[in-house]
Chains A and B, each alone.
Chain A
Amino acid sequence: MNFPIEVNVTTIVARRGETILEALERNGIKVPTLCHMPGLNPTGSCRMCVVEVEGKPNLITACSYPVEEWMKIKTHSPRVVNARKTNVELLLSNHPDDCLYCERNGNCELQLFAAQLNVRERRFIGKKNKYKTDPSGSSIVRDPAKCIVCGRCVRTCDEIVGVCTLGFIGRGNQTIIGPSFNKQLNLSSCIACGQCIMACPTGALHEKRHSDHLQNALHHHKTHVVAQYSSTVAISLGEEFNLKPGREINGILNAALRKAGFDKVFDTTFGADLYLVQLAAEFEERLNEGGVLPLFSSDCPAWIKYVEQWHSEMIPHLSRCKSPQQMLGSIINRYYADTYHIKTEDLYTVSAMPCTAKKFEAQREQLTHKGISDVDAVLTTRELAQFIKLNGIELPQNDTELADYPFHVRSSAGKLMSLAGGQTEALIRTLYFRLTGKELKQPKIMAMRLNRDYKEVKIKMGKHLLGFAAINSIVTAHRVIEEIKAGRDDLHFIEVMVCPGGCINGGGQPMIKVPNALKIRQKALYELDEKDPITAAHKNPGVIGLYNDFLISPNSALARELLLTTYKKREVPL
């Protein structure tokens, strides 16, 4: 039911049951918020969103108060603005104030509020936060001195990701945020997804930088520096440069990276196609030889770490395939380096990913040889944008160029792996061909394109009726694992992606808030799939060539050595 309410000097239409904030936002009236998280229950703890409601003696938190018919609301009266300003001033009273050195300089919400509310002097002098940064994690750095205890990371980790690593510790103004027992992140249950970074309004959480050595490597004449970048990066990086959201910028990105000094620029989507072909082969082998099923996807390192920590009994279900990043990394190190006579010690491989967990992945014990990783540095989309700007490259002004031979061709199926459900759709295309020798008549698997955290489809392939599920939430994955342990046997393949929506919403993605960015990125990828001449991984001529010239077949000893990996139970406080 709709009804009019008075706001400032106008009347707006509110809906029964919504909060004041929702009514205001729908009508284009902006009120600052800090602890508020769309879609989650309000906590009303930060009081940034206060408004004046006639007849109420105290200011009211718009985010948690339901709108009512009789209300007359003032959103920016002097009293309200003053209250918000004082709020920000109090938050700043013990803040380190080192914006110039801060990871979030330029896109910090606290900084923005201070500017908007015209905070120009220090009115409250508190004791400065002296907490030390925790650089122990492979992906995430915590800087508690910058934490304003809004609780968004805690709620994200608990209610959105579902692992609950971060929590409140202590009470009152002594409250801090940290993992259980206030341990270092590397000893905690953190799965490195980086969603907490996306939730953090300040610089209290950020990725571990890998870009610092890169500049040196690029300018060292003996070092042969190669890049690989994920299809998700190609579809979202443009947002950092004010390009049209959803525009795929492979072409200009290739050119820009070459200008910055990379010797070769490869497309990780080639690795994704390779992964899909190997995955289909592993599936077939398990199906035919009575191996462990359902097979679990293995490209999301956060999901892998989750299984190793919470469900080590399910490790046999995990596909042994390395992720696309790591497959391409091995192939670059072994095949590309040999073919082009590059000494491994002179080779420096950099990948650009939408994901913080990929930094963790590159350093997994099982994926390094004598401590040396196949991928030397993993940059997030954000770091890549910064790197391009640092090198003075005007991204939009580049002509499009192709990625480098031999890892330049890719299918649109490989690209779909950026989306929750996309991997399953892509696998089905290749698996169908593998099991039946025929191409799927309808390669679009609409059931996998729904925006749900559990999607399922059953498809007949040859004599088998196979069940595929794509899961996009740890909590749901846990539930399905329990069902499997209790005997559920209609599923044969399960994809799990930790980040809501998939890698397009990864923890390394732009902080810049383009409205509806996720929908736009998703739509763009499906459109590419529509247009692409190659829509299945097994039809990628580059991948076919790699098997013919080098790997022989997915089951060869060489393919196994280079493309498969192992997992191990991890003991951390859960």
Chain B
Amino acid sequence: MSDLIDDIIERHVNIDRDGLIPLLQEIQSSQGFLSEDAIIRIGASMDLPTSKIYGVATFYDQFRFEPKGKVHFQICHGTSCHINHSIRILQELERLLKIKPGQTTRDGMFSVDATSCMGACSLSSVIKVNDTYFHDVSPADLKEIIEKYKSNPLNA
């Protein structure tokens, strides 16, 4: 796993600061998140302080710093879904799982992210759980979804 990170960094060596974000994106899509270790190694190879890299990464919603859970919730936070109260879905999920976007439950089971428009605005509010989309979701539906996945995380 760590060698993979090195490979990606290797491919990006000699990039300037503008190239930092694509590098971070690639690492995230390969590892699922940006680990401290990855950021430290990027810092060492680009001669950039980790505080700067972490600062850049936390500026964007797209990066997460904890591994995803077995069951990963993505709550659409696009305009349409926002109008359809996606924030309430997020709040309810935060309440039920006791984690915030970007975080993962202690047991490694659930994680949550807020994302930008998923391109299904007519069906809002939209959420995605692992690879499955759910549309016209309301906060009341979440309990059931969670229970389903709890018993069978991979394909509920």
**Which A residues contact B (CB, under 8 angstroms)?**
158, 163-171, 179-182, 189, 573-574
Known A-B contacts A574-B40, A574-B49; the reply to A180 vs B58 at CB < 8 A is no
- Tell me the interface secondary structure of chain B in the complex: helix
Other than A182-B54, A189-B49, A573-B39, give 7 A-B pairs with Cβ distance below 8 A: A163-B49, A168-B55, A169-B58, A180-B53, A573-B40, A573-B43, A574-B43
14 A-B contacts, Cβ less than 8 Å apart? A158-B49, A165-B49, A167-B49, A168-B55, A169-B54, A171-B58, A171-B60, A180-B36, A180-B49, A180-B50, A180-B54, A189-B49, A573-B36, A574-B50
With A573-B36, A573-B40, A574-B43: A180-B51 Cβ-Cβ less than 8 Å: yes
Closest to A172 in B: B59
Bound-state CA distance A179–B39 (Å) is 13
- B40 and A170 within 8 A (CB): no
Cα of A398 to Cα of B120 in the assembled complex, Å: 80
Question: Does A169 lie within 8 Å of B50, measured CB to CB?
Answer: no
Which residues of chain B come closer than 8 Å to A164, judged between CB atoms?
49, 51-52
Residues of B within 8 A of A158 (CB): 49
Closest to A158 in B: B49
B51 touches A166 (CB 8 A): yes
Task: Give CA–CA (A165, B54) in the complex, Å.
Answer: 11
Q: Considering the chains assembled together, what is the distance between the CA atoms of A164 and B49 in angstroms?
A: 6
Please report the C-alpha to C-alpha distance between residue A179 and residue B36 in the assembled complex, in whole angstroms: 12
- Closest residue to B53 on the A side, CB-wise? A180
Q: Which of A167, A171, A189 contacts B54 (CB 8 A)?
A: A167
Interface positions of B from 54 to 107, Cβ below 8 Å from A: 54-55, 58-60, 65
Check if B52 sits within 8 Å of A181, measured CB to CB.
no
Q: Which residues of B contact A (CB under 8 A)?
A: 36, 39-40, 43-44, 49-55, 58-60, 65
Chain A residues, Cβ within 8 Å of B60: 171
Report the Cα distance A180→B59, complex, angstroms.
Answer: 13
- Given known contacts A573-B36, A574-B40, A181 and B50 CB-to-CB distance under 8 angstroms: yes
* Nearest CB in chain B: distance from A47 CB, A: 21
CA distance A194 to B109 in the complex (A): 42
**Cα–Cα, bound, A236→B59 (Å):** 42
Cα A180 to Cα B48 in complex, Å, equals 12
Distance to closest chain B CB from A166 (angstroms)? 6
Do A181 and B65 have beta carbons less than 8 Å apart?
yes
Once the chains are docked, how many angstroms separate the CA of A171 from the CA of B55? 9
Are B49 and A170 neighbours in the complex by a CB distance under 8 Å?
Answer: no
Docked Cα-Cα span, A163 to B50, in Å, equals 11
Chain A minimum-CB-distance residue to B50: A180
- A171 in complex: contacting residue of B39, B44, B49, B59, CB < 8 Å: B59
Residue of B nearest to A163 (CB): B49
A-side contacts of B59, CB under 8 Å: 168, 170-171
Min CB gap A217→B, angstroms: 38
User: CA–CA, A151 to B80, complex, Å?
Assistant: 35
The residue on B at minimum CB distance from A171 is: B59
Residue of B nearest to A188 (CB): B51
Output the nearest chain B residue to A178 by Cβ-Cβ distance.
B51
A573 and B55 form a contact (CB under 8 A): no
Chain A residues whose C-beta falls within 8 Å of the C-beta of B55 in the assembled complex: 167-169
Complex CA distance for A167 and B50, rounded to whole angstroms: 9
- The interface residues of chain B lying within 8 Å CB-to-CB of A166 are 51
Q: Which residue of A lies closest to B44 (CB)?
A: A574
Residue of A nearest to B54 (CB): A180
Bound form: Cα–Cα A165–B43 in Å: 13
Give chain B residues whose Cβ lies under 8 Å from the Cβ of A171. Answer: 58-60
Which residue of the partner chain B has the closest CB to A167? B51
Contact residues in A for B43 (Cβ distance below 8 Å): 573-574
User: B58–A179 contact, CB under 8 A?
Assistant: no
CB distance from B56 to the nearest CB of A (A): 9
Q: How far apart are A537's CB and chain B's nearest CB, in angstroms?
A: 38
Contact residues in A for B49 (Cβ distance below 8 Å): 158, 163-165, 167, 180, 189, 574
Contacts of B50 in A (CB 8 A): 180-181, 573-574
CB distance from B90 to the nearest CB of A (A): 15
Kindly provide the distance from the CB of A252 to the nearest chain B CB, expressed in whole angstroms: 44
B36 contacts which chain A residues (CB < 8 A)? 180-181, 573
The distance in angstroms between the C-alpha atoms of A573 and B44, with both chains bound, is 10
Q: In the bound complex, how far is the Cα of B74 from the Cα of A469, in angstroms? A: 57
Q: What B residues does A180 contact at CB under 8 A?
A: 36, 39, 49-51, 53-54
A181→B52 CA distance, assembly (Å): 10
Q: How far is the CB of B34 from chain A (nearest CB, A)?
A: 10
A431 to B59, CA, bound (A): 53
Give Cα A573 to B50, complex, Å.
7
Do A170 and B58 touch (CB < 8 A)?
Answer: yes
CB neighbours (8 Å) of B52 from chain A are: 164, 167
On chain A, the residues within 8 Å of B40 by CB distance are 573-574
Give the distance in Å from the alpha carbon of A574 to the alpha carbon of B49 in the complex.
6
In the assembly, what is the distance between CA of A121 and CA of B65, in Å?
41
Cα distance A170–B55 in the bound complex, in angstroms: 7
Residues from chain B with a CB closer than 8 A to the CB of A182 are 54
Q: Which residues of B contact A165 (CB under 8 A)?
A: 49, 51
Query: CB-CB < 8 A to B65: which residues of A?
Result: 181
List residues of chain B with CB within 8 A of the CB of A167: 49, 51-52, 54-55
- For residue A168, which residue of chain B has the nearest CB? B55
Complex CA distance for A167 and B44, rounded to whole angstroms: 17
User: B residues within 8 A CB of A170?
Assistant: 58-59
- Chain A's nearest CB lies how many Å from the CB of B104? 15
Bound: A574/B51 CA distance, A: 8
Q: How far is the CA of A153 from the CA of B17 in the complex (A)?
A: 22
Tell me which residues across on chain B come within 8 A of A169, comparing CB atoms: 54-55, 58
Question: Nearest 4 pairs between A and B by C-beta?
Answer: A167-B51, A164-B49, A180-B50, A167-B55
Look across to chain B and name the residue whose beta carbon is closest to the beta carbon of A174. B58
Bound complex: CA A165 to CA B44 (Å): 15
A residues less than 8 Å from B58 (CB atoms): 169-171
Considering the chains assembled together, what is the distance between the CA atoms of A475 and B147 in angstroms?
A: 55
Give B36's nearest chain A residue, CB to CB.
A181
Q: Say how far A149's CB is from chain B's closest CB, in angstroms.
A: 12
Complex CA gap A258/B132 in Å reads: 76
How far is A168 from B59 in the complex, measured between Cα atoms in Å? 9
For the complex, what is the distance from the CA of A158 to the CA of B50, rounded to whole Å?
12
